[in-house]
A and B are shown apart, each in its own frame.
Chain A
Amino acid sequence: MNRFHVTRATGLSRFALALSVLLVVVLAAAPWWGSTATLRLIGEMMIYLALASLWNLLAGYTGLVSVGQQAYVGFGGYMLFTIALYLGWNPLVAIPLAGLAAALVSIPVAKLVFRLNGAYFAIGTWVVAEVFRLGFAQMSSLGGGSGSSLPVAIMRDMASSKAMRESLIYWAALALGAGSVAFVYLLLRSRIGLALTAIRDNETASSSLGIAIPRIKLAVYVCVAAATAMVGALIFLQKLRIAPDAAFSVNDWTVLVIFMVVIGGIGTIEGPIIGTILFFVLREFLADLGSVYLMILGALAIAVMMLSPQGIWGLIAGRRGLSLFPVGYRVETRGEKP
């Protein structure tokens, strides 16, 4: 006995990890090889990759199907503006502070919406986001309903040259995009991930085995809120302008994100990555078509959901459950290789 050990990685996953690290290094060097337009595009992809990975953690792994994450995108954006305009601090410092503020705010929000289940939870989160929107529209110090802009002086404080500012914002986007995927992966590999998988399978058995389900769900909700607010802060640092309708847009920050996650594969780490890439490819080729483009997106989403509820990654992974980022455990006994 005791002649065993537990492995987490596979040959494929080591390869995928090495490739991911290489990709991040190449992307980090983009300011030296890419044009301003390229930086913008990759930066935007990273922002959506972050939002998609975070929403997937919430809905796909934790069962908290929120359609109100725009509450934290907008909140993060407004926190950035508040900190930069009224405290005069560097906007890059404001990004993590916006995350921290969102974490604090998300706790009472969670106490409220966690009383609701299923569809009521989803609607509840949406209502909360609307309350946020109406609340910020009342704040005349932040421009009320018409919003406000970041003065050029504040941006100059961040970096004196335009190119440097663009690079800094791009790196922040890359850090949030790659960081969100890494965060989700590491979280799912941790004991919290083990608990989430168990809860997803069977709540009764989970709590009988010692898992404090409400505490785990709250922890995930708060972490996702904080990270989403950091992404929101960056989004509006890039835009230089914020107004309630744009900040708390359900279409931009939740509907598109759900589309990406569902198409790519909900409840998988790979899904949001595939979904984000696919969305941007489609947009590049089809955006000229106007409203037909949105109809194609909708039709595609329905087709994928009917063909494969696990999305495109579900089709690729197949029944054997292939995984580039495995979070499970394999027992290997001595002298026996599986």
Chain B
Amino acid sequence: MTVSTDQHNEAKRDVTFKVFRFNPQVDSKPYFDDYKIPVERGVTVLRALNYIKEHVDASVSFRAFCQAGICGSCGMRVNGISMLACTSQVWEVLAKSKEEGVIKVEPLRNLPLIKDLIVDMDPLVDKMKHYSNWVDSSMPEAEMGKKEFLVSEEEFLKYDKATDCILCASCVSECSILRANKEYVSPAVLLKSYRMNVDTRDSIHDLRLAELVKDHGVWDCTHCYRCQESCVKSIPIMDAIHGIREDALESRGMKDTSGAKHAEAFMSDIEKKGKLVEATLPFRTNGVLWTMQNLLPMAVKMILKRRTPPPPPMVKPSKGIKEFRGEFREMSEHVKQDHKSHKK
């Protein structure tokens, strides 16, 4: 039998799904099981997994509900990238597979593993609570239901896109800081916090912001853009992160926090040294090798996309940085060239 959308005999491909397995009751460590099944065009990764569960191995465990990319249940890593299984086409994924005919399926990262492809979402919910991810209405409860707040198009557009978030945790799984620090606020929670803070109906902006600028908050973000690049709803998460930072710098009274002080110092630093210094930050927290492997490609992408990296905390020059600066100079030259050729 074949997993198919059409009863017709369409072209099929044999695909090996390398599925991450771990049952805490019996396994001391995770392993992979291989399932080779024929798959037609138009079949999603989730349908393929369903097929495996129904016809090959009923014990393979994963979450799925709506099957339409709206509930956020089926986030998992497919060939190393976090995405929704129910909206990802097997053939499309296959085209980009490193290993011919093989698709690797793993659980999301940065959340505790429960079983196979299932991770615990509770830490994320706890963070939503910690950062007051709700509108605390400026209207007293007794008045509710009587009249509407009037909200202009301009006000609405500020949070419209952010409300697309389905809490699938793909961005959480891809976040470079969360890998090192599980306490970190998380991109989805930053996004939600921003959405609440720009809502004119809300009344606890300052309180929320005060939490966001503390340790593990918005200043810890390295601007690696991985969250935004992996967002399954194409939400500009970085706009929210920038928004919170600008807000924090503008808000008087917030300047006392260490994060903002760092940031201010960094701003002047940037003026002196130019914007690209940001890329040296991860050295401090993660070491040279890690940074080279993980962040350098992102930094290059950022530059190529001409995004302006805003301020992280101060960076002390450290060994190895010279080399790096050299590379960056090259890159910035490259970007300038690119700019010029574009203008022509």
* Bind each other: no
Interface residues in chain B, defined as those with a beta carbon under 8 Å from any beta carbon in chain A: none
